[in-house]
Structure 1
Amino acid sequence: MKKFNLMMLVGTLLVGNLAFGESEKSFDYERNLQERQAIDQKNIEAYSQKNGVSTQEVTQKYYEKLQDEFKNNDEIRNEMIKDNSKD
C-alpha cells in the first residue's frame, strides 16, 4: 500500500509539473506593443475613411481620449489606495 501511495504521489507531481510547467510562456512586450499600434492604426484609418475625416484629426482625438482614460483610471486607482489605507 505504501508503494502504491508513493507511486501516486510521484505520478501526481509529474503530471502537475507537465500541465503547469509547460503553460508558462514568456511575454514579449515589444511585440505586443507593435501589434497594438498596428491595430490602432488600422482602426484609425478605417474610421477616417468611413467618416471622411483626416487621419491626423482622428489620431489626435483617439490619443486625447486614451489620455483621458488613463487619467480617469489613475484617479480611480488613487481613490482606491486612499480607501485601502484608511483600514
Structure 2
Amino acid sequence: MIIADNVKYHHFKGINEYLKELKNIEFLYLPSYCSELNAIEHLWENIRAAVTHNTLFDQFTELLNQVQSYLCSINKNKSKLKKLCAYIC
C-alpha cells in the first residue's frame, strides 16, 4: 500500500491504468487538508523549529548546510525520527 496526499499530480490521467498493472500495490489517499496525517509534515515542522525558525541566513548554502547537518544528526537518533514520521492520533 502506498499512502499519498491528494495533490493533483498524484491523480494524473494514467494512474488508474498503471495501478491496474500493479496487482499488489494499492494507493490510499489521505483526506484533503489533513496535514496532521502526512508524516513528512511532522518532519518539516520539526526542521523549521530546530533550524530555520527566527533565523536569517546570509547565503542559501548556509541554510542548506544547517538543514543537512540537522538531518544527519536526526538520522542517528532513530527513535526520534520514527516518532516524527509516525501517525499521531
TM-score scaled by length of structure 1: 0.32
More helix by share: 1
More strand by share: 2
- The higher-RCO structure (CA 8 Å, 6+ apart) is 2
TM-score scaled by length of structure 2: 0.31
